[in-house]
C-alpha cells in the first residue's frame, strides 16, 4: 500500500516538474501586429482625397452623423474630426464648437478642404443667449436678459433680442467657416 502511494506521489511530482521545464516556449515574447490601422491613416495620397471629394460632389446617398467630444489634436485621431470616417458627408458637432484653438481650426479646415466634409454645429436652446452669452454677462438671468435686450412682455424688445442672438449664431458660423 505504501508502494502505491509513493508511486502516485512520484508521478504527480514528475508531471509537475515536467510541466515547468518542458513548456518554455510560451515564456518567450513574440512581436505580433494585431491592429491594422489602414482605416485611420491620415496621410493618404492626394489622389485619394481628390477622388473622395469628387465622389462627395456626385449624386449619392448622403451620410450624416453627429459628433460629440471633439478634442484638441493629439497623436491619435480618436477625438479629432480627422478621425471620422472619410465617407461622412455632413457632421454635426454637439458641443465644443466655439472658442476654437488653432489646432482645432486646422483640424476643421483639413476635414472640410481635404475630405470635402461639411461641418455644422447644433445648439439646443432653452433661452435667448444660451451658449453665446459672454461669461461676464452670464452670471444670472437678469444680467443675461439685459445683455441681449430681452424685456419680458415687450414684443419689440424680445424680437430685437432674438435678432441679436441669431446674429451671434451667424457670426460664429462665419468666424469658423462652418457649413451651417
**Mean pLDDT, the chain cut into blocks of 10 residues (180 residues total):** 71 72 62 58 83 94 91 85 93 89 94 96 90 93 95 95 94 93
Q: Which three cell numbers stand for residue 50?
A: 481628390
pLDDT for res 111: 95
pLDDT for res 57: 94
pLDDT for res 121: 92
pTM: 0.69
pLDDT for res 40: 54
pLDDT for res 97: 87
pLDDT for res 95: 83
Amino acid at each position: 500500500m505504501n508502494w502505491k502511494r509513493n508511486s502516485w506521489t512520484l508521478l504527480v511530482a514528475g508531471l509537475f516538474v515536467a510541466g515547468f521545464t518542458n513548456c518554455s516556449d510560451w515564456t518567450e515574447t513574440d512581436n505580433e501586429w494585431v491592429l491594422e490601422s489602414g482605416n485611420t491613416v491620415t496621410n493618404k495620397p492626394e489622389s485619394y482625397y481628390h477622388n473622395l471629394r469628387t465622389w462627395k460632389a456626385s449624386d449619392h446617398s448622403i451620410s450624416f452623423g453627429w459628433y460629440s467630444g471633439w478634442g484638441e489634436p493629439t497623436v491619435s485621431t480618436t477625438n479629432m474630426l480627422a478621425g471620422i470616417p472619410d465617407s461622412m458627408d455632413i457632421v454635426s458637432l454637439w458641443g465644443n464648437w466655439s472658442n476654437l484653438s488653432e489646432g482645432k481650426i486646422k483640424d476643421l479646415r483639413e476635414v472640410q478642404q481635404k475630405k470635402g466634409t461639411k461641418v455644422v454645429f447644433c445648439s439646443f436652446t432653452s433661452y435667448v443667449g444660451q451658449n453665446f452669452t459672454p461669461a461676464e454677462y452670464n452670471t444670472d438671468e437678469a444680467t443675461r436678459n439685459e445683455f441681449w435686450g430681452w424685456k419680458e412682455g415687450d414684443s419689440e424688445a424680445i424680437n430685437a433680442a432674438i435678432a441679436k442672438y441669431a446674429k451671434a449664431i451667424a457670426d460664429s458660423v462665419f468666424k469658423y467657416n462652418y457649413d451651417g
